[in-house]
Amino acid sequence: MGHQLPTSDQDFVGSLIPQRFPFVMVHELMDYSDNHLVSGFVIKEDNIFIQDNTFQASGLIEHQAQSVALHTGYKYFLLGKDAPTGYIGAIKSFEADILPKTGDRLESEVTILHEMMGVTLVDIVTKVNGGIIARSQMKTAVK
């Protein structure tokens, strides 16, 4: 299996999610357990969600959803299987206190609340420099 956490090996992290450049919003897998994951992402100025040097709320939502996909992808990796394709089933809540800027490093903590029949309910908290900037609760589903 060969990969230890944390890892910022972009080829490895990219292999765990279905998205491809320029739509990749996770660069680092910092911590993982059955019901928890911490991801990292550095916002670059060429990001498709940048407007006036600010990462838009839609980009934060996509980063959070890809963090959930990263959890699923790493779980499948540990089982020796290919990661399934998934999608956001519903966003129960989303709150952004601050929109991050180019150069900021996002750190998102995913907590799996419930998982049944391919549908996962999660809480996600995103931080910049240790301060919480966004929270959400969403359901994701795998094909």
- CATH of residue 39: 3.10.129.10
pLDDT score of 2 = 54
pLDDT score of 83 = 81
- Per the structure, how many domains does the chain have? 1
- pLDDT at residue 92 is higher than 60: yes
pLDDT score of 28 = 96
Residue 1 lies in a domain: no
Residue 70: other Cβ atoms inside 10 A: 25
**Parent domain of 43:** 10-142
Q: Beta strands of 97-130 (E only): which ranges?
A: 105-116, 119-128
Residue 5 lies in a domain: no
Please, is 57 exposed, middle or buried when counting C-beta atoms within 10 Å of its C-beta (0-12, 13-18, 19+)?
A: middle
Residue 52 lies in a domain: yes
Residue 94 lies in a domain: yes
Residue 34: other Cβ atoms inside 10 A: 10
